[in-house]
Amino acid sequence: MKRSDKLKQNWEFRRLYTRGKCAHTAAFVLYFAKGKSGRVRLGITAGKKIGTAVKRNRAKRVITAAFDMCLPKIKKGYDFVIVSRSRILDLKSTAVAEMLFSVLSGNGLTES
């Protein structure tokens, strides 16, 4: 399974927060915008409201696994930032992948 590239710089995250579009679910908030690289790139944030470092790292692992499941169907050339919410701790990565795919397809970000 191929992994997506990562967003690491603060200005990349801020660009998506300010200029990107947003979609909400109970488990996460998805920000997305057209990127310049022609590849799919992902950034994940899990704030201290989620809980301890163990819980924040679990949330990031669940999001990464769910995004990797959806990656073959995602249109190329977009940047994504996923902000986790505390409800994600109760979900498995397959359930999060279903939620993510429905949000992506609802916004026209999946290939037919």
Q: Which domain holds residue 27?
A: 5-106
Q: At what angle do helices 93-106 and 53-70 cross, to 10 degrees?
A: 50
Does residue 75 lie within any of the structural domains? yes
Task: Work out how many domains the chain is built from and give that number.
Answer: 1
pLDDT digits (tens, 9 = 90+) for 12-62: 999 999 999 999 999 999 999 999 888 999 999 999 999 999 999 999 999
Does residue 42 lie within any of the structural domains? yes
CA–CA separation, 78 vs 32, rounded Å? Answer: 7
Check: CB of residue 111 under 8 Å from CB of residue 73: yes
Tell me if the pTM is above 0.75. Answer: yes
Does residue 112 lie within any of the structural domains? no
SS3 70: helix
